[in-house]
Structure 1
Amino acid sequence: MCSHNGRNGFLSSSLCLFVALMLLSANAAACTTFAITPGASEDGSMYVGHTNDGVGKDWREIDDISLLYVPAADHAPGTKRPVLYDPNSGSDAAGGKRGGNSSLILGYIDQVPHTYAYYTGSYGMMNEHQLLSGECTDYAKVELGPEPGKRIFYSSELSDVALERCTKAREAVELVGSLIETYGYYGTGETLIFADPEEAWVIEICSSLDEEDGGGLWVAEKIPDGEVFVAANEFRIREVVPGNPDQLHSSDLFSKLEAAGPWSPAAGTLDWLEAVSYGEYSHPYYSLMRIWRIQDTLAPSLNLSPYVENSYTKAYPFSITPDEKVNLTGAFSLFRDHYEGTDFDLSRGAAAGPFGNPYRYLGPDDAHTDFQNASYEQVRGGANPRPISAVFCSYSYVAEARSSLPDPVGGVLWFGPAVAYETVYVPMYAGATGVSAAYTVGDRLTYDPGSAYWTFALVTNWAMLRYDAMIDTIVAEQRELEAESTALVQDTDRQAALLIEAGDAEGAVRLLTNVTVSRGDAIVDAWHDLTGRLIVTYANGLVTDPVTEAVDEPGYPAWWLDETGYQYGPRVYELDELRATGGLNYTESTVWVPKNATFREIQEYI
């Protein structure tokens, strides 16, 4: 695998080609991200989570379903780092149908003498110094297109540059802010989290409100230690107060907003969300319901209501103190959610089908379009709730940083391919120099059982045939594998730390790399085995025990039969009379009647 210095191999395209490709590209970025600070975690770890709920190719010119490890590199004086166009920057529709990608270099920045090793996909995830990052796309009032030499940065490249060059969260925020002000920003609104073992910051970004201005707008806020932050496709920073030591912002933020009109000093304290965004991303509760769900899950004592007045509600605070401190398994579980047990439970009701399938086919009203503006709000025919675990998820991860351990050991990227609810999070150490090959490949248009993405995506899709039965087997296997990984990490932590303490840093790297690669391979192999068992057991609408050879025909649940007209099926010859009889229900019982019984006599039984 190559470092970003190798990006010089990409050739610039003409501006005409660039514009054409911009019009062709349509991808998705509708993610959920969180940060759990050390004071809010059970063992003092910092956690940053991100679901990459996307469709299409990213800046790497590959589908955004795989992981890339970028090694550390030294660079000669005068070297330039190319900044690549990201096709994901201009579309927010999970149902985007158009394709196309570009290798266009929008511009160059001065390269630094040394860049750090890090993991990235569509966005940077974690570097060798335990700097973590997460992301979600937001709806901004103005979303300008890129312009070579003028607006060259989107959030994906910003997160990568930060991980290449920074070791601390605040340092990353300051670098990102300076790059935006110097080189300009294009595309959708964005929330980025940067966290190190001790502190976490949120930076939110959008295009300048003046198209002639090459720069962008940004604000950042520190997450208080002991608290949890979550974002889900809506800006989360509200009041911006000059001089607040826990906030940073672009140097000309206030003057630009005043000149453009959405804010004036006479209006009082600047509300970042109201000034630059209309709020919700796709339809009412598309974003805010996920915010509510995670905050309510972690702090039920707050008695937060899932119902709000509008997009600009202040019902959900910037960050919350959890009722109980969160451990690693709890962090994973935040992403494994379809609103179970609430009024919005996607695993129940007619839409979930007879077997509790929590996933929905996306329709035109479910995906993102600009449904509101300054004057109007589009009232749609209806939309499905947007769950945290979305069926169009490319991958998710929980990145962990631990101040008690050396950087190569303390940083662990727990990476899960495909849909979060049915994935298995595999540990990848900050100090490793490679990962299992299965996690580095994959294309949505080509089924590849050798890729981690398709290994897990197949199980999710197969489970939807009889979800309520298969999910228990899937979760049991998932828990067993993740428990084994947790024990393996604990043992590896001790061994690697001792090697480093003894001066054998190279031995530690070999150990961390071996564990990272072998554990990834083992989990993919285990999931292939599970896939085979699920296919055999649940093929053809039957439930087959491959050990005992017993075959069961469980059919459908009674409530589903009742709601789908089963009671009007061929249980008597008098079908016309049966259909004309109102108030019938599926009886769940079998009775014997005389062979010459009339339909009126049969009615007494049915």
Structure 2
Amino acid sequence: MIRIKSLRPACKKDFIRPAAAFILSVCICLLASGTETRACTNIIVTRGASADGSNMVSYAADSHQLFGELYFHPAARWDRGSMLDVTEWDTGRPLGQIPQVPYTFQTVGNMNEHQLIIAETTYGGRGLADTTGTMDYGSLIYITLQRAKTAREAIKTIVDLANTYGYCSEGESFSIADKNEVWVMDLIGKGTEIVDGKNVRKGIVYVARRVPDGYICAHANQARISTFPLDDPENCIYAPDVISFAREMGWYDGPDEEFSFCDTYNPLNFGGMRGCEARAWSAFNILCDGQFTFEDENGNTVTRNAYDYIDYAMGYDTGKRFPLFVKPSRKLTVKDIADAMRDHFEGTPMDMTTDIGAGGNALPYRWRPMGFEYEGRTYVNERAIATQQTGFWFVAQSRPQFPDEIGALIWFGTDDAATSYLTPIYACITEVPESFRVGNGNMLTYSPTSAFWMCNRVANACYKMYNIMAPTVRDEIDRWEYAQMETVRTVDSTALEIYRKALDTPRRQISRNDRMKKTVDPYAGLKAYLTEYSVVSAQEIFQKWTELETLLLVKYMDGNVKAQNDDGSFVTNPYTDRIPDGITNPGYTEKWKEYVVKDHGEVIEER
């Protein structure tokens, strides 16, 4: 491990704060909606919309200061009176202590041993953080995963934690899935009003809606739940004061039936649409093949073209909001969701590869800040789903056709989704692959054995000649992920045989609740098998990425492209294998040439 400079105090997700002097109006709108500081994306898929009958949640944890690593907490029993230290996920700031529960479940990343998945995107909303609160949004996720088995239990746990200890973060959207149900939950605090030394507004207001089976949902830093059913507890759970609190604050005075959570607690602006909702729109556009099928307010199934909502996505029209839930055009696979997470708005008006901002090699990224000013007017730098500042990302599956030890599966990756791989990790593992291990490097400490650092090396290599180099990387991604989807089927089958054999032993009489008290885990062999597969696979693809980074350097150095033979070796001249032959110079895009000639043609034109 090469140490570049001394470490700061450890933090898990510490976001860049824009300079106070940054006053561009469009960027202020974007920042107000959470786009710059906490820009994440979730896609949610129900069993009826998935190809294998699993519930799926994808998550890109995007931050300029978040290191990509896989959090791992084994199941544990705790003594009576034990306390849990709570720290803010964004900053590592100590928030306080809360009583520990007697037993906590194993968690791997954002999934637990009971196949519960929780992911998030921050939307900010009105300034309602509880400055005295002990719970931040990250703590709500990871503490809840250790305490809840189902999505409904998770919603209750989140509410209980926030209402009991106070919620100190901004508005959040949570994706919550278990083996049977998938929910989206929008919540926000109630601010700070100190009376006799206590905050009398402690707690949250929220709405949680169950995603109808056969449908998908997406959110990206903008609250998406608008109106909601007031008398359907099977499909909608909400705070008893979610409407009355808004009335008290003077934000709503209409009938209860017309109350919209997102319009009240996270009012739309240009940034909320262009920097946030555009990503959710794009995910739907991809997964629905441009046709949004949904139920309207009267319960009728209707279909609309995705471009009926393009003015909303681009920030021009607040009145044409696209649906919360839509039906995909086909049954979706993990690969479908992973590839949607790699989107750069290709083929849409927001496509970043087609204008001069893409440089001479069609780069689908714009470096931050998220806007700029020129001659007194302000402009936006697009923010797509795939982004350079991703810390980690995943597609997690809750698979009801398998026992929990096998069914809980998280396809995990680090850094920019467009140039990084996903590899399958079973949530019953007993150790984390070295390339994902917490502590194997950080944002200021380079580690040659860290997947985050290696994926960054590959990504940053591609950024210089993206249209030339990125296809090489994408080929490797596709080759690996398609192969692993097939391998997982075989591993599942073998694991199920091991599980059934464990059930056939006398130890089958040991109940799951008592298992932690025993000296022998009846599923130890199963866990060892799935751990070995998860670890070996993760390290195998890490090694391939190490070799890929070397290939990119050798093949594309100095703007050249060295030819390769069918077996992958480089083409050499007839006299020695040390000198390449067939070197090409791909040059620049026509758009780049056009603008260079307009800007500098009189100087560089041949005469």
- Relative to the length of structure 1, the TM-score reads 0.80
Which position in structure 2 is the counterpart of 1:131?
116
1:290-348 residue CA offsets vs partner (Å, 9 max, x unmatched): 12111122222230221127675453111111121111111111101111112221122
Partner of 2:358 in structure 1?
A: 352
Deviation at 1:349, TM superposition (A): 2.0
Tell me, what secondary structure is at the counterpart of 1:394? Answer: strand
Q: Does 1:171 align with 2:153?
A: yes
Shift of 1:28: 3.1
Aligned length: 515
Counterpart amino acid of residue 418 in structure 2: Y
Counterparts of 1:148-547 in structure 2 under 5 Å?
Answer: 151-209=133-191, 211-212=193-194, 213-245=201-233, 246-264=235-253, 266=255, 268-280=257-269, 282=271, 284-299=273-288, 300-301=290-291, 302-305=304-307, 306-308=310-312, 312-313=318-319, 315-363=321-369, 365=371, 381-440=378-437, 441-503=440-502, 505-545=523-563, 546-547=570-571
Which structure carries more relative contact order (alpha carbon 8 Å, separation 6+)?
Answer: 2
CA contact 1:139–1:278 (8 Å) conserved in 2: no
- 5 Å-filtered alignment, 1:62-101, equals 63-86=66-89, 88=90, 101=91
Deviations 1:187-220 (A, max 9, x none): 2210111101211111211120554412222221
**SS at structure 2 position matched to 1:354:** helix
Residue range with higher mean Cα deviation, 304-313 or 403-412: 304-313
State which of 44, 57, 78 in structure 2 corresponds to 1:48. 57
Amino acid at match of 2:482: A
Instruction: Tell me the amino acid that sits aligned with residue 193 of structure 1.
Output: S
CA contact (8 A) 1:190 1:205 kept: yes
| Structure-2 separation of matches of 1:570 and 1:316 | 49
Provide the identity percentage: 28
Cα displacement (A) at 1:285: 1.1
Letter in structure 2 aligned against 1:249? Y
For 1:570 and 1:382, locate their aligned partners in 2 and report how far apart those are by CA, in whole Å: 30
Larger radius of gyration: 1
- Counterpart residue identity of residue 324, structure 2: F
Task: Measure how far apart 1:366 and its partner are.
Answer: 7.2
The separation in 2 between residues aligned to 1:250 and 1:236, in whole angstroms, is 17
Report SS of the residue matched to 2:495. Answer: helix
Q: Which residue of 2 aligns with 1:600?
A: none
Match of 2:382, SS?
coil
Structure 2 Cα separation of the partners of residues 414 and 422 of structure 1: 15
Task: Say whether the 8 Å CA contact 1:46–1:196 is kept in structure 2.
Answer: yes
Structure 1: runs of 5 or more not aligned: 1-9, 12-20, 57-62, 89-100, 368-378, 575-606
1:388-427 deviation line (CA, Å, top 9, x unaligned)? 1011111210001111111111111101110011110011
SS at the partner of 1:179?
Answer: helix
Cα distance in 2 for residues equivalent to 1:160 and 1:492: 28
TM-score norm. by structure 2 comes to 0.80
In structure 2, the partner of 1:7 is none
Identify which range, 298-307 or 413-422, moves more after superposition.
298-307
1:103 deviates by 4.3
- Flag the 1:28–1:450 CA change in 2: closer, same or farther, 3 A: farther
- Asked if structure 2 preserves the Cα contact closer than 8 Å seen for 1:191 and 1:205, the reply is yes
Q: Assess if the C-alpha contact under 8 Å between 2:85 and 2:96 holds in 1.
A: yes
8 A contact 1:142–1:206 mirrored in 2: no
Give the equivalent residue in structure 2 for 1:373.
Answer: none
Q: Is the 8 A contact 2:415 2:455 kept in 1?
A: yes
Contact between 1:395 and 1:418, CA under 8 Å: does it hold in 2?
A: yes
RMSD: 2.5
Relative distance call for 1:323 and 1:484 in structure 2 (3 A) is closer
